[in-house]
Structure 1
């Protein structure tokens, strides 16, 4: 009598409180985090609706053609997975032979019809899924079907698709153990800016990596490297791993230390962790705060930067301090990294990065990787796999040749004439020629600035604006940033366009021009610009930067980067992947199909180099095996052409 009314109230709340808030409350109940006091007893005890420790003690049932709802308003669900009589998974199936119907129709049926018309059935839901036999996608209650993802394994070939991929997804995701693991360990609820809630469930690489970190700690391991492609959710991965470690008594009440190397990343991670309600969260913003937290033996999650370890000495020698270092390829090798390890001599260190480095000075693999792991990597999620999964979008590169060029012959003639008139020595000629040929001198030419800005607006107006996406302009240096802002704004006004721009750069130095004072932003002002940029109905339309926001800036609405600055290696890789996030504009309904880099500076070769995987065993980059690629291409082309057997292709 004490339990049933509570369960009934939680279920019915889906129709009154909203599906996601009711689902969050029901999730607490299902996890056993709610207590009840039975009649005739003095103590509150946990309410256990599911036995997570002994799975065989639960009843698992699969039903098809399940009908639910009042007479005349029934809904029929193709497949339902029940645990102890509670519907935890709903699956919609579509025919594989009708080309006009796909898994997405099934996903939209669930998200837009069934969950809206019968929210109480979905109040205890862990996940929903849809398949047409050719693709299998899953999502969370309240999540639009377009945002559902694919499940899989990083151990399978990334190109696995069709029915084999569907079968593999079902085998991996829809087991009792995995469904209950998602419920217990990998479900979070995020507060949204409008005051609502959004349910977050994991991608499979996040599950694999979090479980690998957890297992490594339990096994007594001291380190591990997580190499996941940019934009695939490393912040949430750290959150999931932290929860697993904190909730496991075998770890012994750990301290989870999240170490970053920039203040804006601290703010970003703190915001994400707080909005999803991670427990016992502390931000150590100063050296004193970090020292106090660790010397006081604080348990829970502590977020800080690596710079707070400078000259702090030994802070804590416990071995259940687990350090997760984001962007592990930066600032970790050298004095700061040594000081951090000296401060925590028995801690376990896990590095997370999308761009590990291996050169003559640095080796992310050997710093964080365990030699027993293949290639020194505990878990890897590649760019190719991410794109195939739909976790990120491909990034295309387009070279634009503006209608502006130097007449080298005329320039040389004018230079020689000037040098003769001034009676310059050979040494003076060399010095002047070096200065005249400096790349900045060429890029600052007013005619070129105008030509590039005109082309940016032409391109953006024709290809990006109609989709409701935004762009970022990367200039050579701060002087070029200011020049581009002025010229873009002039052209926008001249053309009577509705676009707006914003500059984000470091300013306020003693040698900076006085008119740059307006570019000096507080941290809050910079955060406000980034927040407005991420909204489809507010400006700025174009961000203009040179160094800031090239790494660690998460803006799914950004589809294009206009690149007019030579970048190299991991910096270039991180910059161009700003455009790789999935996004659907809520106003236009347009889905981002790809990111785009518009190259004005000629970095094609550098991009190719940046995309090559680093070799843990040697400095430099791994060479491309052209023979192997040619053999793979021949195999693939034969498979493709086999589809056209019997058709005259001449």
Structure 2
């Protein structure tokens, strides 16, 4: 069975589904015509007409607005400016009234007035590179969404689609000034993100109730109300590490925003609790809920309080709000300022902290359209502060946000009673740890206990910490520190001089062997600031001093030891920034309180925990290591987070985390489970593959592997199993546990190496091996003498004799010939004949893999290709043709075009006349016209001629990308 094309399996179906939900299909030819032959990024006439319809006083000359858009920078800043226009915040001058007005591009209040269109094969050339997007959606002539379609039968189809989108950004960034969203789909998966952010952790899977159905996903994602919501509400820009970033709110975030706004405006209910697990974007959810409430007509000019629990987060919240351009914003930096704003009946958004409510007068403002959104509600509203807040604003609505679940010790009271009393299960909206891990929003966590001689004695840990009633449900690190200050024996043990030295040596060794080879960074968490200072001194004896840095709060009356590691704000800011960058030091931060909440560093992989923690504080701390990380250049994809416990907390996990058991099971897992899983896979799955190698990788073994894995499904299953085993090895290694498996594992890696080289092209988003496996492969695989695969042969008159003389069977020769043809096509990418030859070789490989062609037949076809190439080289030399002219000549002969040689020379002259045809749309059009006329003079079938010209340019475009 021939494989289906991308267009038939995916692209055409998406066009149909889009039409079903209200988008008008515009054929490619019509779309190109409306874009002035592909020169414009817009449907100019429609956009101009809609601007004048929505803005009756708009009187600028036709094309003025488009000229303005074309001058926007082709980068994220130009894109942000365009978003402002899409949200109708652009301006035009009203000459009659002598003032500026908002420029309406999209009518969000009356969606039926907009024009919704979809087209395919959207091509654009910027003078250097050309791009063709599979599907583009337009509103009022403005392209807002592009979809990259891939064939579901291709391995890593969506990964390849994302790679293409990245390339489009690099080569034709102009496209992504107006375009805001992208998706990549292979008819099974449906990944989406926003332009100018193609990092893996910010590309998400669109979920629909009808799991796996392309139709349901397209119809829900591309639904007109959904698309308008994306554009108007759910694309946000924010500064991070002094760089502008663009994000899209995910489905759990938009669901929580909708739920928050609905509850706040509900006249019968005024409470709600939202649990969105750490690292899932809770801050943006709060900000967008505040923004929506402020603009809601039903809210009737409300007051919205954004309550933060730490200075650090307050500063970040203000920066984010400023970057979103929200108006009517006040910072209540003092109790006096907050009281004044509320007494004066300020209408707008107020950012403040919970402690500013201390001693606030009762009923300072009794309006009902006051909405209080409280961050980390599990710890900010307990006791007197919560009472002051509720009494000061008796008729307000209160929505609590928390990054941790409600613990079992406070069901029916505290946070649960304050916010969750109006919902059956306590939560207005929930995005659990398990949900987050399943979506890839956060990573799974694994822990390991340190050797017994470093762990805190059980009786001491239990008596002075775990069994204390006041430690149950501890929600704040300051509160935790007060409890630990009374744990004298516990602290003395943790800070013992000999133990500090032993732990520091162990941490240094573990980091160098387990973490640094993966490229990641680590935290060492000391019990207090003095312990941090001790650890810094000790670590410097085992690691270069610039590998580590201490970050803690400085006090004026600190001891000389503590003052030794004080940092000013600038130094601390630089350390934070450098820690988040791959190639910069430090690699290990020593902390005790600072950075354990709110600090987001995806490069952070390991936490060496030497501070007793539990419940919310423990959950918040270990969540620092669960952030996804991807680095395309280094080909790193972080698999999970890791905690090495020097206290013994995780030995008493049920006691340390007082949450529902199903939530605990989703939080952290013992690394022993991974060892058991690795052992199971090596004993049950690996043997069936290891049996395929009988003679320590001689040429017969290699040929058997190539033959065995001809079936793409069988190959895909092996790659999946191998990658799971490899990831387990990477997590566990180095460890004495692995010693009995090393030989078989390295053999399995060698099998993977052979099959990968034979059948796959390297994909940018996935590397050959993870780092530790790569070292093992370099050490062991060379000893097997594997060299038969990818023996590239020079394609000359001797090629066939060389192939026949090679060791190995027919399957190996088939693969080597295909690789040889592909290599020469890459090296001579300006020769269309070789590009076409490589395409035919690829077709032979697909037929060979699908067993439609025998090994002997595939080898014979490839030999014929090599022979034909030798014949054409002689004929080309005799006629004095270059590669392009000869290819045109052969194409015309194959199509039975008369006077093929003369026509070929005419076409060559046309290419000489338009040397910039690849950089200029105008030159391209003229060139196509001349070529079409030259061929048409010898044939009266215009459709046939057009097909020949399309095929020719399609191949030339492909050649330009090699």
Counterpart Cα distance in 2 of 1:136 and 1:324? 33
Counterparts in 2 of 1:396 and 1:23: CA distance versus 1, 3 Å: same
Structure 1 position 203 matched with structure 2 position 250: yes
**Corresponding residue to 2:522 among 443, 454, 471:** 471
**2:172 is matched with which residue?**
118
**2:314 is matched with which residue?**
266
Counterpart Cα distance in 1 of 2:64 and 2:83? 13
**1:378 is matched with which residue?**
428
**Corresponding residue to 1:541 among 580, 583, 587:** 587
Work out whether residues 281 and 300 of structure 1, in 8 Å CA contact, stay in contact via their aligned partners in 2: yes
Work out whether residues 606 and 625 of structure 2, in 8 Å CA contact, stay in contact via their aligned partners in 1: yes
Q: CA deviation at 1:403?
A: 6.6
- CA deviations 1:47-79 (Å, max 9, x no partner) are 222111122222222222223336995422111
**Equivalent position SS for 2:589:** strand
Counterpart Cα distance in 2 of 1:612 and 1:383? 15
Larger-gyration structure (1/2): 2
Q: CA deviation at 1:228?
A: 0.4
User: Is there any run of 5+ residues in structure 2 with no aligned partner, and where?
Assistant: 1-58, 459-485, 667-684, 686-712, 718-962
Counterparts in 2 of 1:592 and 1:438: CA distance versus 1, 3 Å: same
**1:91 is matched with which residue?**
147
Counterparts in 2 of 1:604 and 1:85: CA distance versus 1, 3 Å: same
- CA deviations 1:290-313 (Å, max 9, x no partner) are 112222222322211111111121
Correspondence list, 1:183-582, <5 A: 183-191=231-239, 193=241, 197-220=244-267, 221-313=269-361, 314-355=363-404, 356-360=406-410, 362-371=413-422, 373-401=423-451, 438-492=489-543, 497=544, 499-508=546-555, 513-521=559-567, 526-582=572-628
User: Is there any run of 5+ residues in structure 1 with no aligned partner, and where?
Assistant: 409-434, 616-620, 626-640
Counterparts in 2 of 1:170 and 1:381: CA distance versus 1, 3 Å: farther
Deviates more, 1:28-37 or 1:565-574: 28-37
**Corresponding residue to 2:114 among 36, 42, 58:** 58
Bigger relative contact order (CA 8 A; separation at least 6): 1
Deviates more, 1:391-400 or 1:29-38: 29-38
Counterpart Cα distance in 1 of 2:257 and 2:598? 21
- CA deviations 1:433-459 (Å, max 9, x no partner) are xx9993334333333222211121112
Work out whether residues 201 and 441 of structure 2, in 8 Å CA contact, stay in contact via their aligned partners in 1: no
C-alpha RMSD over aligned residues = 3.4
Counterpart Cα distance in 2 of 1:19 and 1:550? 34
Deviates more, 1:305-314 or 1:546-555: 546-555
Work out whether residues 192 and 198 of structure 1, in 8 Å CA contact, stay in contact via their aligned partners in 2: yes
- CA deviations 1:487-537 (Å, max 9, x no partner) are 001222xxxx37432223345375x53332234555665444433433334
Counterpart Cα distance in 1 of 2:132 and 2:226? 25
**Equivalent position SS for 1:438:** helix
Deviates more, 1:26-35 or 1:117-126: 117-126
Counterpart Cα distance in 2 of 1:407 and 1:281? 52
**Equivalent position SS for 1:329:** helix
Work out whether residues 605 and 641 of structure 2, in 8 Å CA contact, stay in contact via their aligned partners in 1: yes
Correspondence list, 1:97-108, <5 A: 97-99=153-155, 101-108=156-163
Counterpart Cα distance in 2 of 1:320 and 1:444? 53
Q: CA deviation at 1:168?
A: 4.7
**2:65 is matched with which residue?**
7
With the length of structure 1 as denominator, give the TM-score of the two structures.
0.81
Counterpart Cα distance in 1 of 2:455 and 2:420? 49
**Equivalent position SS for 1:490:** coil
Counterparts in 2 of 1:250 and 1:197: CA distance versus 1, 3 Å: same
Counterpart Cα distance in 2 of 1:283 and 1:233? 22
Counterpart Cα distance in 2 of 1:24 and 1:49? 15
Deviates more, 1:447-456 or 1:268-277: 268-277
Counterparts in 2 of 1:73 and 1:336: CA distance versus 1, 3 Å: closer
**Equivalent position SS for 1:376:** coil
- CA deviations 1:3-39 (Å, max 9, x no partner) are 743431343235xx23222222222222212232356
**1:150 is matched with which residue?**
204
**Equivalent position SS for 1:90:** strand
- CA deviations 1:455-477 (Å, max 9, x no partner) are 21112112222333221111233
- CA deviations 1:161-189 (Å, max 9, x no partner) are 6x24x555434322111111111112222
Work out whether residues 86 and 124 of structure 1, in 8 Å CA contact, stay in contact via their aligned partners in 2: yes
Counterpart Cα distance in 1 of 2:247 and 2:521? 25
**1:21 is matched with which residue?**
77
Counterparts in 2 of 1:278 and 1:587: CA distance versus 1, 3 Å: farther
Counterpart Cα distance in 2 of 1:3 and 1:207? 40
Counterpart Cα distance in 2 of 1:187 and 1:449? 48
Counterpart Cα distance in 1 of 2:455 and 2:335? 52
Correspondence list, 1:128-139, <5 A: 128-139=182-193
Work out whether residues 107 and 145 of structure 1, in 8 Å CA contact, stay in contact via their aligned partners in 2: no
Q: CA deviation at 1:190?
A: 2.3
Counterpart Cα distance in 1 of 2:650 and 2:216? 37
**Corresponding residue to 1:68 among 87, 109, 124:** 124
With the length of structure 2 as denominator, give the TM-score of the two structures.
0.56
Counterparts in 2 of 1:501 and 1:278: CA distance versus 1, 3 Å: farther
| Structure with the higher helix share, 1 or 2 | 2
**Equivalent position SS for 1:552:** coil
Deviates more, 1:338-347 or 1:578-587: 578-587
Q: CA deviation at 1:553?
A: 2.4
Q: CA deviation at 1:396?
A: 1.5
Q: CA deviation at 1:90?
A: 0.2
**1:81 is matched with which residue?**
137
Q: CA deviation at 1:130?
A: 0.8
Counterparts in 2 of 1:622 and 1:491: CA distance versus 1, 3 Å: closer
Work out whether residues 521 and 603 of structure 2, in 8 Å CA contact, stay in contact via their aligned partners in 1: yes
Work out whether residues 404 and 447 of structure 1, in 8 Å CA contact, stay in contact via their aligned partners in 2: no
